[in-house]
């Protein structure tokens, strides 16, 4: 009896040891291998998208300030945060030894960028806020929340800091639209109809590269919809209006 116990203890000890070794070799959190060529190749595009996105977000907040001069100080603050984000993500790429494909990223944003510029020229503030402070910020929030779960430790820390700011940016757009809902609802709906499908298209375009980074497409969509619908609710739209707006993504 005594002997048998001893053998069992030894076996337990042996199997514990094996588990420990295996977890060290195969990565305890199931993170991707950040050093492979395929990871770096996908990262060169995703990293560029994020860097370009942060730069354009900066430029957009500066542009929006020309339409609401009273808000210059607040919008300049938001713009400054975007430059800090850009620096952070540039460091993430450098840390992994990746060169960002900026040409790809410029093309990735070109359609949405064009729509923002047209709205700006026309002085369509509601459209500008929907594109930057709602759609782009919700897209960034979804991407960063999913990325945090599978990022390398360096990038994880940076992204955690960034995503907190992005909620402030989303909130900024939300509060302005809420205060002006009675006069901006129609333009909001129309701008959403045109630009939400672009976000969906961008998500589809990035899905393959994202999956190499262990980021799941469904999860990205889910996170986007949570941020997007939550904001529309806070703005003061009812369930039917929110459903109608979200539907623009699938038709």
> Any contact of residue 85 with Fe ion (CB under 5 A)?
yes
State both tokens at 79.
């713009």
Give the pair of three-digit tokens for residue 150.
């599978």
Sign of CA dihedral 214, 86, 201, 183: positive
CA distance 8 to 31: 34
Provide the mask over 119-158, with x wherever binding to Fe ion is found by CB under 5 A and - wherever it is not: ----------------------------------------
Residue count at the site for ligand PL3 (CB under 6 A)? 20
Positions in 87-146 near ligand PL3 (CB under 6 A): 136-137, 139-140, 143-144
| Residues whose CB falls within 8 Å of the CB of residue 177, separated by 6 or more in sequence, listed in order | 126, 129, 130, 134, 184, 188, 235
206 binds ligand PL3 (CB under 6 A): yes
Instruction: Please give the DSSP secondary-structure letter assigned to residue 134.
Output: I
For residue 29, give the DSSP letter: T
Secondary structure (3-state) at 159: helix
Binding mask 21-60 for Fe ion (x = CB under 5 A): ---------------------------------x--x---
Binding characters for ligand PL3, 149-178, by CB under 6 A (x = yes): -----------------x--x---------
Binds ligand PL3 (CB under 6 A): choice among 50, 133, 163, 245? 50
Angle (nearest 5°) at CA 83 between 34 and 146: 40
Q: Shortest Cβ distance from residue 245 to Fe ion (Å)? A: 21
Question: Tokens in use for 133?
Answer: 């402070």
Q: For residues 55 and 52, give the distance between their C-alpha atoms in angstroms, rounded to a whole number.
A: 5
Q: Which of ligand PL3, Fe ion, none binds 143 (CB below 5-8 Å, type-dependent)?
A: ligand PL3
- From CA 163, how far away is CA 35, in angstroms rounded? 25
In the complex, least distance from residue 231 CB atom to Fe ion, rounded to whole angstroms: 13
Asked if 54 interacts with ligand PL3 (CB under 6 A), we say yes
Instruction: Work out whether 166 is an interface residue with Fe ion (CB under 5 A).
Output: yes
Interface residues with ligand PL3 (CB under 6 A) are: 46-47, 49-50, 53-54, 57, 82, 85, 136-137, 139-140, 143-144, 147, 166, 169, 206, 210
């Amino acid at each position: 009896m005594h002997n048998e116990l001893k053998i069992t203890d030894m076996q337990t000890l042996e199997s514990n040891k094996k588990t420990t070794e295996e977890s060290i070799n195969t990565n305890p959190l199931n993170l991707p291998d950040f050093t492979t060529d395929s990871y770096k190749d996908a990262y060169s595009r995703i990293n560029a998208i994020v860097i370009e996105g942060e730069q354009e977000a900066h430029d957009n907040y500066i542009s929006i300030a020309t339409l609401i001069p009273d808000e210059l100080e607040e919008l300049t603050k938001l713009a400054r945060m975007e430059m800090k984000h850009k620096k952070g993500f540039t460091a993430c790429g450098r840390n992994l030894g990746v060169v960002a494909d900026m040409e790809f990223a410029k093309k990735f944003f070109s359609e949405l960028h064009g729509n923002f510029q047209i709205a700006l020229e026309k002085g369509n503030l509601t459209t500008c806020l929907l594109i930057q402070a709602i759609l782009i910020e919700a897209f960034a929030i979804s991407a960063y929340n999913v990325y945090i779960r599978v990022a390398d430790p360096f990038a994880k820390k940076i992204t955690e800091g960034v995503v907190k700011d992005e909620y402030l940016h989303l909130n900024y757009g939300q509060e302005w639209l809420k205060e002006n809902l009675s006069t901006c609802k129609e333009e909001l709906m129309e701008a959403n109809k045109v630009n939400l499908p672009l976000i969906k298209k961008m998500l589809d375009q990035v899905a393959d590269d994202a999956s190499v980074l262990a980021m799941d497409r469904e999860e990205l969509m889910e996170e986007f919809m949570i941020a997007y619908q939550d904001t529309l609710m806070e703005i003061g739209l009812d369930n039917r209006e929110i459903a109608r707006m979200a539907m623009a993504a699938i038709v």
